[in-house]
């Protein structure tokens, strides 16, 4: 069984307005090292994953039936 995907809404983008859009849902990847430093690893607008401050996002729970759709949108 695969691990449930995690998602977060961007509420702040600082100097990264080109790679993070406010109010957009982003896929979050598990990164214990980043989490220890209060960061989260996010697939941003470049299609790559980078770490950003955790305070820039609000995590959300989505129903299983739309997880795959959000994942597909995150990697486009």
Q: Long-range contacts made by residues 60-67, C-beta under 8 angstroms, separation at least 24?
A: 60/7, 60/8, 60/9, 60/25, 62/7, 64/4, 67/4, 67/5, 67/7
Q: What is the pLDDT of residues 3-34, one digit of tens each?
A: 678 999 999 999 999 999 999 999 999 999 99
Mean pLDDT of the chain: 89
Model pTM score: 0.82
Per DSSP, the residues of the chain read: -PPPPEEEEE---TT-TTT--TT-EEEEE--HHHHHTTEEEEE-TTSSEEEEEGGGEEEE---HHHHHHHHHHHT-
The structural domains of the chain, ordered by start, are: 6-74 (2.30.30)
């Amino acid at each position: 069984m695969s691990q449930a995907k995690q998602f977060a809404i961007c509420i702040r983008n600082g100097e990264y307005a080109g790679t993070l859009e406010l109010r957009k849902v982003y896929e979050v990847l598990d990164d214990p090292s980043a989490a220890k430093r209060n960061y989260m690893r996010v697939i941003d607008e470049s299609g790559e994953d980078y770490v950003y401050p955790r305070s820039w996002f609000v995590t959300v729970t989505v129903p299983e039936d739309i997880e795959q759709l959000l994942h597909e949108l995150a990697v486009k």
